[in-house]
Amino acid sequence: MKHLPPVKAKKLRSPNRGSSLLEECLMNDIVVQALCEYLEESEEPDTLWWPEHWFVEVSTSRWIAGELINAILDHPMTPAEDTMEELAIKMTAFHAASDGTKAERIFSIAEKCLWEWLELFREENIFS
């Protein structure tokens, strides 16, 4: 039997010793917390009293905030900025593909929300 040379294992750094893994997790937590606060502070739409366009806008923005929270929590090792940008690009593509349908308005609102939140978090240096 032929003997193979030993394999050298790379030493991994712990997340609490200068690694950016801990920073990315904290950044994700900050973004998730901000989105949860948005959901708590925004009113639950009332179909009886609200005009339809307000109802659709508020419902859609709350829906996409929940989707973004789930996407960030599903990928904890991916920076929240990357997750937000990926979801915004998907919503842009869905908006472009939904010509003249009711879905076009929903994807338009979702796209707008995601790009605005991404810009806001960048301006506040949350991702730095």
pLDDT at 27: 87
The answer to whether position 116 is within a domain reads yes
Q: Is residue 86 part of a domain?
A: yes
Give the chain's domain count: 1
Q: Which structural domain range is residue 41 located in?
A: 20-123
Cα–Cα separations (whole angstroms), residue 123 to 20, 36, 61, 103, 128: 21, 19, 20, 30, 10
Q: Is residue 11 part of a domain?
A: no
Per-residue pLDDT at 26: 85
- C-alpha 63/C-alpha 91 separation (Å) is 13
- Consecutive sets of 10 residues in the chain, 128 residues long: mean pLDDT of each? 46 47 77 93 74 86 96 93 96 91 91 96 86
List pLDDT tens digits, range 49-70: 778 888 889 899 999 999 999 9
pTM of the model: 0.78
Residue 74 lies in a domain: yes
Judge whether 13 lies within some domain: no
What's the pLDDT at 83? 96
